[in-house]
Amino acid sequence: MDFQLSEKNLSDRIALLTLTGRLTAATAPQLRDAIKRLVDDRHIELLFDISGLVFLDSSGLAVIVSGLKTTRELGGWLKLAGITPQVSEIFKLTRLDRVFNVYPSVEDALKGQ
Protein backbone atom coordinates (compact mmCIF):
# COMPACT_ATOMS: atom_id res chain seq x y z
CA MET A 1 0.00 0.00 0.00
CA ASP A 2 1.44 3.35 -1.06
CA PHE A 3 1.68 6.29 1.30
CA GLN A 4 -1.01 8.93 1.01
CA LEU A 5 -1.29 12.22 2.85
CA SER A 6 -4.23 14.59 2.95
CA GLU A 7 -4.47 17.90 4.76
CA LYS A 8 -7.43 19.82 6.14
CA ASN A 9 -7.29 23.16 7.93
CA LEU A 10 -9.55 23.02 10.99
CA SER A 11 -8.80 26.59 12.14
CA ASP A 12 -6.16 29.29 11.81
CA ARG A 13 -3.85 27.24 14.05
CA ILE A 14 -5.03 23.63 13.73
CA ALA A 15 -4.48 21.32 10.76
CA LEU A 16 -5.52 17.70 10.37
CA LEU A 17 -3.17 15.45 8.44
CA THR A 18 -4.50 12.03 7.46
CA LEU A 19 -1.75 9.49 6.83
CA THR A 20 -2.43 6.16 5.15
CA GLY A 21 -0.23 3.35 3.91
CA ARG A 22 3.48 3.00 4.60
CA LEU A 23 5.57 5.90 5.93
CA THR A 24 9.15 5.02 4.99
CA ALA A 25 12.42 6.66 4.00
CA ALA A 26 11.03 7.00 0.48
CA THR A 27 7.82 8.75 1.58
CA ALA A 28 8.90 10.62 4.74
CA PRO A 29 10.04 13.72 2.78
CA GLN A 30 6.43 14.21 1.66
CA LEU A 31 5.30 14.45 5.29
CA ARG A 32 8.29 16.59 6.27
CA ASP A 33 7.46 19.08 3.50
CA ALA A 34 3.79 19.19 4.54
CA ILE A 35 4.71 19.89 8.17
CA LYS A 36 7.11 22.65 7.13
CA ARG A 37 4.52 24.26 4.86
CA LEU A 38 1.81 24.14 7.55
CA VAL A 39 4.08 25.54 10.26
CA ASP A 40 5.22 28.30 7.91
CA ASP A 41 1.50 29.12 7.45
CA ARG A 42 1.12 29.37 11.26
CA HIS A 43 -0.58 26.00 11.75
CA ILE A 44 1.35 25.05 14.89
CA GLU A 45 -1.24 22.62 16.23
CA LEU A 46 -1.12 19.46 14.16
CA LEU A 47 -3.35 16.44 14.50
CA PHE A 48 -2.27 13.29 12.68
CA ASP A 49 -5.00 10.77 11.90
CA ILE A 50 -2.90 7.63 11.59
CA SER A 51 -5.74 5.09 11.64
CA GLY A 52 -4.82 4.11 8.07
CA LEU A 53 -1.07 3.98 8.64
CA VAL A 54 0.00 0.34 8.40
CA PHE A 55 3.77 0.72 8.75
CA LEU A 56 6.45 3.26 9.54
CA ASP A 57 10.21 2.92 9.64
CA SER A 58 12.81 4.97 11.49
CA SER A 59 12.75 7.71 8.85
CA GLY A 60 9.00 8.10 9.18
CA LEU A 61 9.27 8.11 12.94
CA ALA A 62 12.01 10.75 12.79
CA VAL A 63 9.80 13.08 10.74
CA ILE A 64 6.94 12.73 13.25
CA VAL A 65 9.30 13.40 16.17
CA SER A 66 10.75 16.41 14.35
CA GLY A 67 7.22 17.74 13.80
CA LEU A 68 6.49 17.39 17.50
CA LYS A 69 9.67 19.26 18.40
CA THR A 70 8.95 22.06 15.92
CA THR A 71 5.37 22.61 17.04
CA ARG A 72 6.30 22.56 20.73
CA GLU A 73 9.07 25.11 20.18
CA LEU A 74 6.44 27.44 18.70
CA GLY A 75 3.98 26.91 21.55
CA GLY A 76 1.83 24.39 19.69
CA TRP A 77 1.33 20.65 19.76
CA LEU A 78 1.24 17.50 17.66
CA LYS A 79 -1.28 14.81 18.56
CA LEU A 80 -1.82 11.33 17.15
CA ALA A 81 -5.25 9.80 16.64
CA GLY A 82 -6.34 6.30 15.73
CA ILE A 83 -3.04 4.49 16.21
CA THR A 84 -3.10 0.95 14.84
CA PRO A 85 -1.71 -2.02 16.79
CA GLN A 86 1.27 -2.36 14.42
CA VAL A 87 2.23 1.31 14.71
CA SER A 88 1.49 1.34 18.44
CA GLU A 89 4.04 -1.44 18.91
CA ILE A 90 6.72 0.69 17.23
CA PHE A 91 5.92 3.62 19.52
CA LYS A 92 6.11 1.33 22.57
CA LEU A 93 9.42 -0.23 21.51
CA THR A 94 10.96 3.21 21.05
CA ARG A 95 9.24 4.51 24.21
CA LEU A 96 7.73 7.34 22.21
CA ASP A 97 4.32 6.33 23.52
CA ARG A 98 5.42 8.26 26.63
CA VAL A 99 6.20 11.39 24.60
CA PHE A 100 3.19 11.73 22.31
CA ASN A 101 -0.42 12.43 23.20
CA VAL A 102 -2.29 9.55 21.56
CA TYR A 103 -6.09 9.47 21.25
CA PRO A 104 -8.49 6.79 20.01
CA SER A 105 -10.05 9.13 17.42
CA VAL A 106 -9.75 12.56 15.84
CA GLU A 107 -12.82 13.68 17.79
CA ASP A 108 -11.28 12.61 21.10
CA ALA A 109 -8.03 14.41 20.25
CA LEU A 110 -9.88 17.64 19.48
CA LYS A 111 -11.81 17.41 22.76
CA GLY A 112 -8.50 16.89 24.58
CA GLN A 113 -7.12 20.25 23.48
Pairing assessment for the beta strands 14-23 and 4-9 based on DSSP bridges: antiparallel
The reported pTM is 0.94
Sorted by where each begins, the domain ranges of the chain are 4-108
pLDDT tens track, the chain, 113 positions: 799 999 999 999 999 999 999 999 999 999 999 999 999 999 999 999 999 999 999 999 999 999 999 999 999 999 999 999 999 999 999 999 999 999 999 999 999 85
Query: CB–CB of 6/39 below 8 Å?
Result: no
User: What gap in Å lies between CA 75 and CA 105, rounded to an integer?
Assistant: 23
CATH 2.40.50.100 fits 4-108, yes or no: no
**How many other C-beta atoms lie within 10 A of the C-beta of residue 106?**
18
